[in-house]
Amino acid sequence: MSLVLRDITLTYPDGDGRLTALDRVGLDVPAGTLTAVVGPSGSGKSSLLAVAATLVTPDAGTVTVDGVTTTGLGRGELAALRRRAIGTVFQQPNLLPSLTAAEQLQVMAHLDGRSPGAARPRAVELLDAVGMADLAGRRPHQLSGGQRQRVNIARALMNRPTVLLVDEPTSALDHERGAAVIDLITRLTHRQATATVLVTHDRAHLSAVDRVVEVRDGRLVDQVDGSPAEGPAASSGSARRVGSTR
């Protein structure tokens, strides 16, 4: 397994008590597979992604990325793990306006301590994989929304991550472009052998993904048979309020 979450519980302060965002969540994502996580706003999808990205430390449970359990790692060690093993596709591409499509990818190599010039062949290869090779020299203002999202996806794969985390990639796209982006992420997951988690509220384009789970009351429910992905069954709803103790 390239990404394993075990018994993850995450709470946030809420007045005199705490709000449970994730309740004993377990999720295994093998290399080369795509798991879609669906649910309404506020259900815990973003919290799940933040924990998987090692950006938020859960109250309890373990996160294992590419065989490394993150419990006890320092900030520097977590940052190094993210650079090496985790690629993130953000909801908004957030491309640097002064850089070309190829340079958006090359800067990722620079952040990892490698020469941007030496990384150009890899950048061109990935842009070709997402259908953007002919537009490698264009800057963000010269690209459509769908094209910018394709560059965003290629950038996330630049450092050859084993885990790919995708946050609402179709939220700013129309139906046709959204379907094309989901199809692209699915194909790249299988081709690049990443363990991919796709968070989305849009269920329209998920027929080709390997697994769909829904967040209910901070727990995961497998959509194949409606059973919990791990742990006790959950009822429909969103995050729950609990007592003042963790």
Please name the residue that has the structure tokens 């090779």. 133
Q: The tokens of 36 are what?
A: 């879609």
pTM of the predicted model as reported, rounded to 2 decimal places: 0.86
Helix count and strand count (H, E) for the chain: 6, 11
Beta-carbon count within 10 A of 14 CB: 13
Domain count, the chain: 1
Domain of 90: which CATH number? Answer: 3.40.50.300
Where in the sequence is the domain holding 60, given as residue range(s)? 3-242
> Mind listing the pLDDT tens digit of every residue in the chain (246 residues)?
699 999 999 999 888 888 899 999 999 999 999 999 998 888 889 899 999 999 999 999 999 999 999 998 999 999 999 999 999 998 888 999 999 999 999 999 888 888 888 899 999 999 999 999 999 999 999 999 999 999 999 999 999 999 999 999 888 788 888 888 889 999 999 999 999 999 988 787 788 899 999 998 888 998 654 555 653 333 333 444 444 333
Q: For residues 101-129, b (16+ Cβ closer than 10 Å) or e, as one string?
A: bbbbbbbbbeeeeeebeebbebbbebbeb
Q: What end-to-end distance do the CA atoms of the chain give, in Å?
A: 29
Contact 225, 33 (CB under 8 A): no
